Structure 1
């Protein structure tokens, strides 16, 4: 067990391969004998799963502020029920999305005030920040715009997703020591190796290399 927990977050636009890289890191942690928890936002609590249905259902008619408050509620429950207990137990917590997504999607994407959103997110999460945020970056036209069966946010349009992308990059540029920005939808193995190296550096040890395959086009 670690002396303290480690909080790793994966961010980026829709369909950029976050879930693939989360699974790759989880496999490396498992093979390395490191206790860890894999989680996601929104929805990885009993209450959050109901919030997720509202947020992603294309039939949900949500005001932008209502949408934002639902995301904040999910984060409050997620941090309290999942993330903090795991960190207190000395585990590595790997989350698919966190605060940066709210600042990108509801801030830059929906055009809501960034300062207000940052304060809301800070309150909802108790100010908890990741030790490392991995941003997988690609032009939206090469990811979500080519996908089918889109959820409510994925249907928001190319301009919306372009603003979201720029927000992720701006957040990373503002705090480069806490971020690792990598090109998305390229070699799964090469990207996973860069992530293992960064996480291993934080852990003070090398991670075992898992067997990885190059998946098809459908990414999360």
Structure 2
């Protein structure tokens, strides 16, 4: 089986940037790798994402929210993540099931045993091999994300972008109060404490380059059994 790496963190921690940096470095060296996200990752899961994160859906019941996240995850695992891992590839995912435990469990007070049961059903027991958690105080992270969501993309109009810029969305969960986001952060740290062999906690105040290098040095030893695409036939 391949290698499954996830990135977690409070809003504005920079986890999406680091997930992309790791993907680009692995791809540049020829490793079979895909980058995906949750909720989303497949057409069906992306449709659920639009529903569950829409700012207009404040009437959504907590049970509905948990079931929708689980439905999106089930499709994602079945259609994209597990098939690629079976081929021996590397899957990098921006958020996974730990986010549901942190946000719906610790943040919203849902029963953790119930959420873990839903997660086992949705994933078929699949867990990441390695999870990076980028830690940042909740208030600081929310302010970072708010500024990014409001900032227009600044670029030279005469120079076409190499790739479309990442759009930062301010969603229904982001808009919840600070106490909620502080509980989410505490939840992530508790999850990491419970499984120290899987989690790596990183200070999100570090520069983008320093974080990327620390992540890379952690991942390199896990690549021993995965050959770059050009070497797989040899």
Same fold (TM over 0.5): yes
Work out the CA distance in 1 between the residues paired with 2:211 and 2:132: 10
The match for 2:213 is 193
Give structure 2 stretches of 5+ with no counterpart: 150-169, 226-234
Q: 1:165 aligns with which of 155, 163, 185?
A: 185
The match for 2:203 is 183
Give the paired residue count. 202
TM-fit CA distance, 1:146: 4.7
The match for 1:210 is none
Note the alpha carbon deviations across 1:52-105, whole angstroms, 9 max, x for none: 111111101210110000000011000000100100111100000001000000
The match for 1:152 is 172
The match for 2:128 is 130
TM-fit CA distance, 1:163: 0.5
The match for 1:68 is 66
Does residue 93 of structure 2 align to residue 95 of structure 1?
A: yes
* Structure 2 CA distance for partners of 1:160 and 1:145, relative to 1, 3 Å: farther
Q: Is the 8 A contact 2:12 2:144 kept in 1?
A: no
Work out the CA distance in 2 between the residues paired with 1:56 and 1:97: 14
Work out the CA distance in 2 between the residues paired with 1:186 and 1:156: 26
Q: 1:10 aligns with which of 7, 12, 16?
A: 7
The match for 2:30 is 33
Work out the CA distance in 2 between the residues paired with 1:202 and 1:190: 20
The match for 1:117 is 115
Q: 2:54 aligns with which of 52, 57, 60?
A: 57
**TM-score, normalised via structure 1 length:** 0.89
Q: Alignment RMSD, CA only?
A: 1.2
Note the alpha carbon deviations across 1:1-52, whole angstroms, 9 max, x for none: xxx3100000111111011101110121012211101000001111111111
Work out the CA distance in 2 between the residues paired with 1:154 and 1:56: 9
* Structure 2 CA distance for partners of 1:124 and 1:21, relative to 1, 3 Å: same
Q: Is the 8 A contact 2:3 2:88 kept in 1?
A: yes
- The structure having more radius of gyration, on CA atoms, is 2
Give structure 1 stretches of 5+ with no counterpart: 206-220
**TM-score, normalised via structure 2 length:** 0.84
* Structure 2 CA distance for partners of 1:147 and 1:9, relative to 1, 3 Å: closer
Q: Secondary structure at the match of 2:175?
A: helix
Work out the CA distance in 2 between the residues paired with 1:146 and 1:177: 30
Q: Is the 8 A contact 1:17 1:185 kept in 2?
A: no
